[in-house]
């Protein structure tokens, strides 16, 4: 029994981090219909910002959160201006942007590899190796902090989308781009800002990832399919769906890891992605088969 | 006279004659001699070994031919049919492992088992395509990426084929100057065959159906094309070519290991070659293969590390997609500037 509770807690703790990793991807797809394959590598870039602050100045990765968000959001603005603004007129927009973000992922990976080399890194603040014991069950503090913080960030984002007027514009654009434009929403500005927010979220996720997982530039290839499975299961563009799917899949993966074998736990995400795309491409909370 | 056209057979015959006339007109502008001369030259290159050591040149041509096979194979699905797969190195891997294990266990050269490996890959490709081709556009691209990840975990943990360490294959017993030759000829012949077959496919009714699917699948379906069978067959054929290349490549390297087949750079290279050369054209993948192999050699020789190779590959891909989405052959053809010897379509 203690085993089952332990596995459940470990799964839930990781679920929070995965939710933050997936939310930026979901937001960018919702507004711009871009499947951003470069999202995971930008998360790793965020993790390197945290690593850099930790190694050079001894700053806690959690304190680096705002810095990483600002740096990554700036990268997002540059990418949008350089690449995606002019692609909006392309005929095969959705396929084109998938390939383009794939190319960007390679560029960022190569640049990170050139600067930081391809060795495994991890930031190691005190709480990362600590754990809280409740009876027989333990909760790793690093994952606990990361999970709570990502839920706070996602809640702030959800409140912003729900109650601010700009959030209104973002949601309107997500639902129907043409109609929003007709009603006077500046969809280009909405797209730019939400792309920047999405990539900024990658930076935030990177800071949390930096002490939860060890990372190196080429690691993002595994995460592409993992994050895609979360976002597709939740329904592309649905923030709530992404959060629910993250907890669901990471708990399942934790059980598979404990009772079947550690190598098969990531397989859960890949198989889930495969099955969802075939059985219910709109995901749990998606309204129509948007990707098809 | 007009009455005669009421007979269906007369209409069909008139149409066939007209089509033949069009084909003859297209043939007059075609430089058929160029590919033949190119092939003859490539077949004669190993004679250089009599006057010195040209192993590096032979390796480069062999490597280019290998990628030309894979890119042309990918082009049948990605170029003609318009389904972009980032997971075709799975078939490279399956072909390599199938023929490689036969070589390791029974000592049968992969040069003989390559067609068999192609058939196996076609069968696997048919089954996978049956499932994944239900999705379209970005969903298909993502599902193909998931396929690579699944295959990587399976091959890394499959002890019968050596897991992540792979299997060492016996090298042939030719002397150093001639050791590469069997594979060289195999790849050059295979590349010629692939180009010829993709030409034949493009000009068949089947190829016409595939191109209709890439333009508009729903309209193609309502025009009476069995789109599901067509695209699944295209998937199987392209998987077969990639698999055959993998089979011979494994023996050439003398070992098979998941991380030579199932790395993302291999599948990106296939896609990139087609995009750079011209998706859906016959000469495009070959030109792309020559350019990308040359770029890779230059980058590795001047910059050294593989990180910059990845960066440069990504940069070329982004620039090609943004500024030449039709590729070299496609852009030139659109401007009516395509030289005759590159018009293989």
pLDDT digits (tens, 9 = 90+) for A20-74: 999 999 999 888 888 899 999 999 999 999 998 898 888 888 888 999 999 999 9
Distances (CA, A) of A23 to A100, B147, B234: 21, 23, 36
One domain for residues B171 and B256: yes
pLDDT tens for each residue of B67-124: 999 999 999 999 999 999 999 999 999 999 999 999 998 988 889 999 999 999 999 9
One domain for residues B3 and B87: no
One domain for residues B163 and B47: yes
Distance CA B24, CA B18 (A): 10
Partner residue facing A106 (CB), from B136, B156, B268 = B268
Chain A residues touching B309 at Cβ < 8 A? 110
**Strand intervals (E) in chain B:** 167-168, 255-256
Chain B residues touching A113 at Cβ < 8 A? 305-307, 310-311
One domain for residues B161 and B147: yes
One domain for residues B88 and B23: no
Tell me if A289 is assigned to some domain. Answer: no
pTM equals 0.88
B259 touches chain A (CB under 8 A): no
Distance CA A208, CA A114 (A): 23
| CA of B320 vs chain A CAs: smallest distance (Å) | 10
One domain for residues B177 and B244: yes
A82 touches chain B (CB under 8 A): no
What pLDDT score was predicted for residue A292?
A: 40
| CA of B87 vs chain A CAs: smallest distance (Å) | 12
Tell me if A233 is assigned to some domain. Answer: yes
One domain for residues B10 and B95: no
Distance CA A27, CA A20 (A): 11
pLDDT tens for each residue of A187-203: 889 999 999 999 999 99
One domain for residues B126 and B153: yes
Closest-approach residue (CA) in chain B for A101: B318
| CA of A36 vs chain B CAs: smallest distance (Å) | 10
Q: Do B310 and A109 touch (CB under 8 A)?
A: yes
* Number of domains composing chain A: 1
Chain A residues touching B311 at Cβ < 8 A? 106-107, 109-111, 113-114
Partner residue facing B311 (CB), from A86, A114, A273 = A114
- Domain span including residue A26: 2-279
Tell me if A290 is assigned to some domain. Answer: no
What pLDDT score was predicted for residue B5?
A: 58
Q: Do B138 and A94 touch (CB under 8 A)?
A: yes
B131 touches chain A (CB under 8 A): yes
Tell me if A32 is assigned to some domain. Answer: yes
Partner residue facing B305 (CB), from A98, A114, A281 = A114
Q: Which helix (H) or strand (E) holds A132?
A: strand A131-134
B139 beta partners: none
Q: What are phi and psi of A261, to 5 degrees?
A: 155, 140
What pLDDT score was predicted for residue B2?
A: 53
Spatial contact of B274 and B78, defined as CB atoms under 8 Å apart: yes
pLDDT tens for each residue of B205-258: 999 999 999 988 899 999 999 999 999 999 999 999 999 999 999 999 998 999
B308 touches chain A (CB under 8 A): yes
Partner residue facing B321 (CB), from A100, A229, A264 = A100
Spatial contact of A21 and A237, defined as CB atoms under 8 Å apart: no
| CA of B78 vs chain A CAs: smallest distance (Å) | 12
Q: Do B153 and A266 touch (CB under 8 A)?
A: yes
* DSSP classification of residue B342: G
**pLDDT category, A291, cuts 50, 70, 90?**
very low
What pLDDT score was predicted for residue A137?
A: 81
**CB-CB neighbours of A119 under 10 Å:** 8
One domain for residues B8 and B83: no
A93 touches chain B (CB under 8 A): no
Optimal mutation site among B86, B269, B314, B323, interface A, most CBs of chain A within 10 A: B314
| CA of B229 vs chain A CAs: smallest distance (Å) | 18
pLDDT tens for each residue of B257-306: 998 898 888 888 999 999 999 988 999 999 999 999 998 888 888 877 67
Distance CA B287, CA B270 (A): 12
Q: Which of B176, B189, B66, B77 is nearest to B126 (CA)?
A: B77
Distance CA B175, CA A218 (A): 39
| CA of A123 vs chain B CAs: smallest distance (Å) | 23
pLDDT tens for each residue of B120-173: 999 999 999 998 888 888 888 888 988 998 999 999 988 888 888 888 888 888
One domain for residues B232 and B161: yes
Q: Which of A3, A32, A35, A8 is nearest to A291 (CA)?
A: A35
One domain for residues B8 and B64: no
* DSSP classification of residue B98: H
- Domain span including residue B137: 31-342
Distance CA B158, CA B152 (A): 10
- Lowest-pLDDT choice from A84-93, A185-194, B31-40, B262-271: A84-93
Here the CATH number for the domain that contains residue A248 is 1.10.3470
Tell me if A212 is assigned to some domain. Answer: yes
One domain for residues B148 and B21: no
What pLDDT score was predicted for residue A290?
A: 46
Distances (CA, A) of B318 to A101, A104, B145, B280, B284: 8, 7, 19, 19, 18
Spatial contact of B184 and B62, defined as CB atoms under 8 Å apart: yes
* Number of domains composing chain B: 2
Q: Do B135 and A87 touch (CB under 8 A)?
A: no
């Amino acid at each position: 029994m203690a085993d089952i509770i332990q596995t459940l807690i470990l799964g839930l703790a990781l679920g929070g981090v995965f939710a933050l990793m997936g939310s930026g991807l979901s937001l960018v797809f919702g507004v711009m219909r871009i499947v951003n394959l470069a999202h995971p590598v930008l998360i790793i870039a965020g993790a390197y910002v945290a690593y850099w602050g930790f190694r050079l100045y001894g700053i806690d990765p959690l304190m680096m959160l705002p810095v990483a968000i600002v740096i990554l959001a700036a990268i997002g603005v540059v990418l949008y201006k350089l690449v995606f603004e002019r692609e909006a007129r392309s005929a095969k927009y959705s396929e084109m942007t998938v390939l383009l973000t794939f190319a960007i992922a390679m560029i960022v990976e190569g640049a990170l590899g050139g600067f930081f080399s391809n060795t495994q890194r991890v930031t190691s603040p005190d709480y990362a190796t600590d754990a809280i014991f409740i009876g027989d069950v333990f909760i790793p503090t690093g994952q606990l902090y990361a999970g709570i913080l990502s839920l706070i960030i996602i809640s702030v984002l959800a409140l912003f989308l729900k109650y601010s007027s700009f959030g209104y514009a973002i949601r309107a654009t997500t639902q129907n781009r043409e109609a929003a434009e007709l009603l006077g929403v500046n969809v280009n500005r909405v797209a730019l800002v939400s792309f920047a927010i999405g990539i900024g979220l990658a930076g935030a996720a990177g800071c949390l990832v930096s002490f939860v997982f060890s990372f190196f530039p080429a690691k993002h290839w595994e995460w592409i399919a993992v994050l895609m499975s979360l976002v597709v299961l939740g329904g592309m563009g649905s923030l709530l769906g992404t959060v629910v799917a993250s907890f669901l899949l990471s708990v399942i993966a934790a059980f598979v890891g404990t009772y079947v074998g550690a190598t098969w736990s990531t397989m859960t995400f890949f198989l889930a992605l495969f099955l969802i795309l075939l059985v219910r491409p709109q995901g749990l909370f998606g309204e129509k088969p948007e990707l098809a | 006279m007009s009455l005669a056209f009421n007979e269906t057979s007369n209409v069909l015959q008139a149409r066939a004659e007209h089509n033949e006339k069009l084909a003859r007109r297209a043939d007059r502008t075609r430089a058929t001699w160029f590919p033949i001369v190119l092939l003859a030259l490539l077949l004669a290159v190993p004679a250089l070994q009599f006057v010195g050591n040209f192993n590096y040149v032979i390796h480069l041509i062999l490597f280019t031919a290998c990628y030309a096979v894979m890119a042309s194979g990918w082009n049948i699905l990605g170029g003609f049919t318009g389904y972009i797969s980032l997971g075709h190195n799975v078939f490279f891997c399956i072909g390599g492992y199938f023929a490689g294990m036969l070589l390791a266990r029974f000592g049968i050269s992969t040069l003989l088992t390559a067609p068999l490996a192609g058939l196996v890959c076609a069968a696997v490709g048919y089954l996978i395509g049956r499932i994944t081709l239900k999705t379209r556009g970005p969903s298909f691209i993502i599902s193909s990426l998931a396929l690579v990840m699944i295959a990587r975990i399976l091959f890394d943990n499959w002890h019968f084929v050596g897991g992540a360490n792979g299997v060492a294959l016996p090298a042939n017993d030719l002397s150093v100057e001639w050791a590469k030759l069997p594979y060289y000829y195999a790849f050059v012949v295979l590349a010629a065959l692939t180009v010829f077959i993709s030409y034949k496919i493009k000009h068949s009714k089947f190829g016409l159906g595939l191109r209709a699917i890439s333009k508009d699948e729903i309209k193609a379906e309502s025009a009476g094309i069995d789109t599901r069978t067509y695209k699944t067959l295209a998937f199987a054929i392209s998987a077969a070519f990639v698999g055959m290349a993998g089979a011979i490549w494994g023996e050439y390297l003398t070992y098979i290991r998941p991380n030579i087949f199932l790395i993302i750079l291999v599948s990106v290279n296939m896609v990139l070659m087609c995009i750079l050369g011209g998706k859906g054209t016959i000469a495009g993948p070959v030109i792309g293969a020559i350019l990308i192999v040359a770029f890779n050699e230059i980058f590795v020789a001047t910059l050294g590390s593989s990180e910059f190779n990845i960066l440069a590959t990504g940069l070329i891909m982004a620039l090609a997609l943004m500024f030449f989405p039709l590729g070299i052959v496609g852009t030139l053809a659109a401007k009516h500037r395509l030289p005759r010897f590159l018009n293989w379509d």
